């Protein structure tokens, strides 16, 4: 995803949203039942909509918010 001249990654957005919820990526992956490093790989291999929805629900955002930059 590009915003202006900057490339914004899915992982960066999820990391930012997780930080707002006070949870680390490692803790979030464990809670979701994902393997260590799973979310980091989503920039190269996008997740299923089910997995993305599960993360969005946990972070209290819409699925669209998880793929767009959070303000």
- Residue ranges of alpha helices (H) inside 1-71 are 10-20, 25-32, 49-58, 63-67
**Domain 2-61 is found in CATH 1.10.260:** yes
Q: What is the pLDDT of residues 17-71, one digit of tens each?
A: 999 999 999 999 999 999 999 999 999 999 999 999 999 999 999 888 777 644 4
Task: Give the three-class secondary structure for 3.
Answer: strand
pTM of the full predicted structure? 0.79
What is the distance between the terminal CA atoms of the chain, rounded to a whole angstrom?
A: 15
Backbone conformation region of residue 21, classed left if phi is above 0, alpha if psi is from -120 to 50, else beta = alpha
Q: What residue spans define the domains of the chain?
A: 2-61
24/7 Cα distance (integer angstroms): 22
pLDDT at position 4? 44
């Amino acid at each position: 995803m590009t915003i202006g001249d900057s490339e914004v990654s899915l992982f960066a957005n999820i990391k930012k949203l997780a930080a707002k919820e006070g949870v680390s990526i490692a803790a979030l992956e464990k809670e979701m039942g994902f393997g260590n490093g799973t979310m980091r790989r989503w920039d190269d291999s996008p997740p299923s909509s089910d997995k993305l929805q599960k993360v969005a629900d946990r972070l209290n955002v819409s699925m669209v918010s998880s793929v767009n930059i959070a303000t």
